[in-house]
Structure 1
Amino acid sequence: MDRIELLGLRGRGRHGVFPRERAEGQTFIVDAALGVDVRAAAVSDDLAATADYGAIAEKIVALVEGEPVNLIETLAERIAAACLADPAVREVQITVHKPDAPISVPFDDVTVTVRRRTEARQEAR
């Protein structure tokens, strides 16, 4: 499976369980690895034959900046589902970073990573 990677997508969201997170918001960073067969696109040199990563990036950031959820696990699932809605995307790995998480000890980052593929596409393989 070929991969298209979108690394370091940033958006300001209000996700979290604490009132301060909802009121003030914080930056979330998303890395998305899209499993795509790029052979047809490479031969045809046609965007319609592959995943439009610009459009997918916009959808990801819209989810980050959209409706708040309590957990970044939920956000990661929603992003994965949005990526898999593109017919060219067969599988996806999403990592959501929450570098400003409310943790009382020094840390570099908090991440949640999910790997998903659609059932129909999984059975077809």
Structure 2
Amino acid sequence: MHVGSDRITLTGLRARGRHGVYPRERAEGQTFVVDAVLELDTRAAAAGDDLACTADYGSIAEKLVAVVEGEPVNLVETLAARLAGICLADPAVAAVQITVHKPDAPITVPFDDVSVTIRRERTEALR
């Protein structure tokens, strides 16, 4: 498999989570927005028209939302790493880029968005 040859992109998954370092973030929660770019080889799936040969993006989306809605963490970086692990648990996914947006971050100046983007490959996940 050549990593990065094909991509499935999930953009704008929204979920309410209680992530953050401040007590107010934990108590009130806020909306997080997730983008996931799954890198995989889709040739076998396309040739056989077979979902079993590719990543089931619907199932992955549900798992990502469950993590955002689940156990709180302090850092968006930690949340992004957990989300990457969910994607790499799918055997079809060779690498993933995760962006976690925190549009309601507790910042004292006007802003449009705060986000963290990470990229992980299957070999890194197995270490």
TM-score normalized by structure 1? 0.95
CA contact (8 A) 1:3 1:35 kept: yes
Q: Is 1:27 matched up with 2:31?
A: yes
Structure 1 equivalent of residue 80 of structure 2:
76
Structure 2 equivalent of residue 114 of structure 1:
118
Q: Is 1:43 matched up with 2:47?
A: yes
Q: 1:101 to 1:9 in 2, by over 3 A?
A: same
Q: Aligned with 1:9: secondary structure?
A: strand
Please tell me the residue identity of whatever aligns with 1:114.
Answer: I
Task: Compute the displacement of 1:121 (Å).
Answer: 9.2
Counterparts of 1:120 and 1:24, CA distance in 2: 34
Q: Unpaired segments of 5 or more residues in structure 1?
A: none
Q: Which runs of 4+ in 1 moved over 2 A?
A: none
Q: Unpaired segments of 5 or more residues in structure 2?
A: none
Counterparts of 2:23 and 2:59, CA distance in 1: 32
Q: Percent identity?
A: 74
Partner residue of 1:105 out of 101, 105, 109? 109
Q: Is 1:88 matched up with 2:92?
A: yes
Task: Compute the displacement of 1:118 (Å).
Answer: 1.4
Task: Compute the displacement of 1:33 (Å).
Answer: 0.1
Task: Compute the displacement of 1:120 (Å).
Answer: 7.5
TM-score normalized by structure 2? 0.93
Q: What are the residue-to-residue correspondences of 1:9-24 with 2, within 5 Å?
A: 9-24=13-28
Q: Aligned with 1:83: secondary structure?
A: helix
**TM-superposition CA deviations, 1:45-101 (whole Å, max 9, x none):** 010000000000001000000000000000000000110000000000000000000
Please tell me the residue identity of whatever aligns with 2:29.
Answer: G
Partner residue of 1:52 out of 28, 49, 56? 56
